[in-house]
Structure 1
Amino acid sequence: MDERRKSSRTRVLKSGRIAVSAKAPKIECAVRNLSDGGACLQVHSGTFGIPREFELHVEGAPNRMCRVIWRTENRLGVSFA
């Protein structure tokens, strides 16, 4: 399979939260890998119902707007907007 990412990703294991809206509860996730352009998120509660765009909160990092590129039952591949 050809690598199409513009920047290489680094394996990490950080806790994160997906913010769908200001009033909705945040969804806990684990950041599995990270680059300047995107990330892979593992969502223990499942990815069903998570919209195509959301804000990602990771401790010690600035909040980032994300766009879902691919999804499985419990993982999301996102690019940073």
Structure 2
Amino acid sequence: MSENRSLVRRQTFRHAEIIISAALAFTCSVANLTEAGALLLVRSESAVPDVFDLTIGPSDDRHPCRVIWRLPGEVGVCFETTRAEA
């Protein structure tokens, strides 16, 4: 079966951190990565909010993310360039 994705996915197993607020964050793993998003491996997909910031590896750079889909133990996210403040 061929994929019809416009961006190439790079497989990676990097450690990452889902940052929900200044006081709440938890670790996850990045299974694959594109310029537009990532597949995150998580303990509980229901604990991941719809929008959050993600840091990958030793970098302190934050990537605003929005959840696109959820499966048991997995969350697909897209990277947002801007996020409207609530």
TM-score scaled by length of structure 2: 0.81
Deviates more, 1:30-39 or 1:1-10: 1-10
What RMSD, in angstroms, separates the aligned Cα atoms of the two structures? 1.7
Please name the residue that 1:47 is paired with: 45
* Identical counterparts, % of pairs: 34
Please name the residue that 2:83 is paired with: none
* Equivalent residues in 2 for 1:13-28, closer than 5 Å: 13-24=13-24, 26-28=25-27
Unaligned ranges ≥5, structure 1: none
Question: 1: CA distance between counterparts of 2:58 and 2:5?
Answer: 24
Q: CA deviation at 1:23?
A: 1.6
Please name the residue that 2:75 is paired with: 76
Deviates more, 1:70-79 or 1:2-11: 2-11
Q: Which structure has the larger Rg?
A: 2
Paired residues, number:
79
